[in-house]
A = this chain, B = another copy of it.
């Protein structure tokens, strides 16, 4: 089975089954994954600003978008999931049960998101937020880590339900236990890097190669300002993948002008 999956995914890659798209204001990566035979597709972390680009591409590629999934409640950009549901018949939104957000599908550990012959498996990786998930392909060749693990970095842990200890355990137990060659596709990058591997991050991540105590010390002393979109309440954010808990916690925040994760 593994061999079959690997073969499937190689064909998949070479036929452009995985597409990386970038939104520059929030330095967000959106991923479009498709079964190149059945044309069923899943989109990960779509951004409001780029909804027209994304839907145009999906149409041109003849894909049938079945699920739009957010790896977590994003504080640094507004998801396009809600608006996408209005524009794509039958599209379902998905997010972690522990995000506190409304969605058609509430995901928990081990859940599968199928698209044609392929699927993504949910791993709960809290720490940046309680509802952070990592999505792993069936052959463990690719992991979409959201803000849990970034290339040579990680998401911050000082707002929403952030907890450095939780994040450390999530990454070490759920991501660093994947095969060394598993590709890491994060939700953001601020240096123009697009992909890493489990092996590289296990070896070179400047934070997560430290002991848990050192990691907590680093994360508690980042002194970053708040993300600028964290307090926004517009109709789109309210529509679907809305962060109730985050909004409650942050209702007293007046402003902020920053990124969701530090740059080193």
Residues of A whose CB lies within 8 Å of any CB of B are 6, 9-10, 13-16, 19-24, 50, 53, 57, 60-61, 141, 181, 183, 191-195, 197, 200, 203-204
Give 16 new A-B contacts, CB below 8 A, not counting A13-B13, A21-B193.
Answer: A10-B10, A10-B13, A10-B14, A14-B181, A16-B183, A16-B195, A16-B197, A20-B20, A20-B194, A22-B192, A23-B192, A24-B192, A50-B191, A60-B200, A60-B203, A194-B194
Q: Could you write out 22 A-B pairs with CB less than 8 Å apart?
A: A9-B14, A10-B10, A10-B13, A13-B13, A14-B141, A14-B183, A16-B181, A16-B195, A19-B195, A20-B20, A20-B194, A20-B195, A21-B192, A22-B22, A22-B192, A23-B192, A50-B191, A50-B192, A53-B191, A53-B193, A60-B200, A60-B204
As for how many copies of this chain the complex holds, the number is: 2
Distance between Cα atoms of A15 and B180 in the complex (Å): 10
> Whole-angstrom distance from the CB of A203 to the nearest CB of chain B?
8
Specify the chain B residue showing the minimal Cβ separation from A47.
Answer: B192
> Whole-angstrom distance from the CB of A29 to the nearest CB of chain B?
9
Contact residues in B for A141 (Cβ distance below 8 Å): 14
Contact residues in B for A197 (Cβ distance below 8 Å): 16
Contact residues in B for A15 (Cβ distance below 8 Å): 181
> Whole-angstrom distance from the CB of A115 to the nearest CB of chain B?
19
Specify the chain B residue showing the minimal Cβ separation from A49.
Answer: B192
Specify the chain B residue showing the minimal Cβ separation from A60.
Answer: B204
Distance between Cα atoms of A138 and B17 in the complex (Å): 21
Q: Contacts A10-B10, A22-B22, A200-B60 given: A53-B192 contact, CB under 8 Å?
A: yes
Distance between Cα atoms of A219 and B193 in the complex (Å): 33
Distance between Cα atoms of A183 and B14 in the complex (Å): 8
> Whole-angstrom distance from the CB of A207 to the nearest CB of chain B?
16
The 4 closest A-B pairs by CB, nearest first: A22-B192, A10-B10, A20-B194, A60-B204
Contact residues in B for A14 (Cβ distance below 8 Å): 6, 9-10, 13, 141, 181, 183
